[in-house]
């Protein structure tokens, strides 16, 4: 047990961080590791992917702990570094990235295939929140400054192409503008711009036309969606049991994009419901913590980070149950992959940092200084 009178760095972190958010994240990572063990044989190599995911989970824990320990000033600096590094890395994929299914989104480092665009979202959420909260420091409107950050990111994402990440980034930007009380003309402009980008993607990328036509048609679902639905049907309420699933061997990307279907087949509707509940608790808790902060920056950053995490989870699960067209998006904390796990760990770490009980931290430091002076 950690005493409240303990003034060590870890004790101060423990008593000032939101532990409900922390425990919910740990529960989601635990579910993800269980499902990694279930899905790993379906993609070959026995439990190779499961062991790698365990290693990724350890690294993600360190990222979360480090990010949540940052001061507000340190957080802004780190977020800026993360965003611009992710922007540069995303641009680098266009010339040196591995091409998978016609898209260049990944950099191969041997032991890890990194998707830099995953880190654009947490970096942008904090950086844009800082700009909007301190808008009077800029010679132009703060909204224009955030627009200058969004435009190159969207351009690079469309060139990869990655329409899903583009949509998430624009959704995040729109939410931050809305939370900041922006004038309606900005929301209208964002809506028009998003519609234009969507239309451009429709014209340039035939696979999007195919996916949308398949989704809105009255016929049977697509190949992947059909297999995912069969997996849920096969699992029923309680599932067929760990390792007993069979449809997962036919399902493409069972360990990443369609991990929710693996959960449905082997553990049934019960685990699927638990996953939905955990994401609901996480999103609501993060939003509540953000609303209780006193400064504008923490409110904006906390709300933006919570929203982008919740929207990504909703999209992945919606695709798996054929409520949304296929997006190629991972389920946070649960899908296999280092990039996704590291990025969402950074997202929650940033959120824990902006929602820590800062007045209590200041009192603890003053008390520690007083004790040091008394002993001297």
Instruction: Residue 34: name the closest of 295, 340, 242 by CA.
Output: 242
Of residues 255 and 200, more confidence is placed in 255
Q: Could you tell me the pLDDT band of residue 375, with boundaries at 50, 70 and 90?
A: very low
Q: What is the pTM for the complete model shown? A: 0.89
Q: Could you tell me the pLDDT band of residue 124, with boundaries at 50, 70 and 90?
A: very high
**Cα gap 271→244, rounded to integer Å:** 15
Average pLDDT over residues 48-64: 94
Query: Mean pLDDT for the chain?
Result: 87
On whether residue 80 sits in a domain, the answer given is yes
On whether residue 281 sits in a domain, the answer given is yes
Q: How many domains does the chain have?
A: 1
On whether residue 329 sits in a domain, the answer given is yes
Determine the pLDDT at residue 115. Answer: 93
Residue 364 has pLDDT above 90, yes or no: no
Determine the pLDDT at residue 296. Answer: 93
Average pLDDT over residues 16-44: 93
- Tens-place pLDDT, residues 214-271: 667 655 667 788 899 999 999 999 999 998 889 999 988 888 899 999 999 999 999 9
On whether residue 374 sits in a domain, the answer given is no
Instruction: Residue 158: name the closest of 218, 226, 90 by CA.
Output: 90
Instruction: Residue 177: name the closest of 167, 188, 163 by CA.
Output: 188
Domain of 361 in residue numbering reads as 17-368
- Tens-place pLDDT, residues 150-183: 999 999 998 998 888 998 999 999 999 989 987 7
Residue 15 has pLDDT above 50, yes or no: yes
- Tens-place pLDDT, residues 80-106: 999 999 999 999 999 988 877 778 888
Residue 54 has pLDDT above 70, yes or no: yes
Residue 361 has pLDDT above 60, yes or no: no
Average pLDDT over residues 347-376: 67
Instruction: Residue 146: name the closest of 112, 182, 113 by CA.
Output: 182
Determine the pLDDT at residue 220. Answer: 62
On whether residue 134 sits in a domain, the answer given is yes
On whether residue 46 sits in a domain, the answer given is yes
**Cα gap 33→93, rounded to integer Å:** 29
Average pLDDT over residues 118-128: 96
On whether residue 11 sits in a domain, the answer given is no
Determine the pLDDT at residue 367. Answer: 45
On whether residue 239 sits in a domain, the answer given is yes
Of residues 2 and 268, more confidence is placed in 268
Judge contact between 168 and 121, C-beta under 8 A: yes
- Tens-place pLDDT, residues 275-328: 999 999 999 999 999 999 989 999 999 999 999 999 999 999 999 998 888 777
DSSP bridge partners of 99: 104
Average pLDDT over residues 122-126: 97
């Amino acid at each position: 047990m950690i005493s409240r009178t303990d003034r060590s760095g870890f004790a101060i972190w423990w008593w000032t961080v939101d532990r409900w958010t922390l425990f919910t994240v740990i529960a989601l990572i635990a579910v993800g590791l269980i499902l990694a063990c279930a899905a790993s044989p379906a993609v070959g190599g026995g439990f190779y992917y499961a062991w790698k995911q365990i290693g990724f989970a350890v690294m993600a824990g360190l990222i979360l702990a480090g990010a949540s320990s940052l001061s507000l000033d340190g957080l802004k600096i780190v977020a800026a570094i993360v965003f611009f590094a992710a922007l540069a890395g995303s641009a680098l994929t266009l010339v040196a990235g591995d091409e998978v299914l016609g898209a260049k989104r990944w950099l191969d480092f041997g032991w890890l295939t990194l998707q830099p665009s995953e880190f654009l979202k947490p970096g942008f959420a904090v950086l844009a929140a800082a700009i909007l909260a301190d808008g009077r420091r800029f010679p132009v409107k703060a909204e224009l400054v955030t627009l200058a950050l969004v435009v190159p990111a969207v351009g690079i994402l469309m060139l990869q192409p990655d329409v899903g990440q583009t949509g998430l980034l624009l959704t995040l930007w729109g939410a931050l503008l809305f939370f900041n009380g922006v004038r309606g003309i900005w929301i209208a402009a964002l809506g028009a711009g998003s519609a234009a980008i969507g239309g451009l993607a429709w014209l340039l990328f035939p696979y999007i036309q195919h996916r949308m036509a398949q989704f809105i048609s009255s016929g049977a679902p697509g190949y992947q969606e059909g297999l995912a639905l069969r997996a849920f049907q096969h699992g029923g309420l309680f599932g067929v049991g760990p390792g007993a699933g069979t449809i997962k061997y036919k399902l493409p990307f069972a360990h990443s994009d369609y991990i929710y279907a693996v959960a449905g087949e082997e553990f049934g509707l019960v685990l699927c419901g638990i996953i939905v509940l955990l994401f609901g608790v996480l999103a609501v808790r993060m939003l509540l913590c953000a609303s209780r902060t006193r400064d504008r920056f923490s409110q904006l950053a906390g709300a933006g980070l919570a929203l982008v995490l919740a929207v990504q989870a909703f999209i992945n699960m919606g695709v798996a149950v054929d409520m949304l067209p296929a997006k190629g998006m991972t389920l946070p904390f649960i899908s296999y992959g280092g990039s996704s796990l590291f990025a969402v760990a950074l997202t929650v770490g940033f959120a824990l940092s902006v929602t820590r009980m800062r007045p209590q931290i200041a009192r603890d430091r003053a008390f520690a200084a007083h004790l040091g002076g008394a002993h001297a």
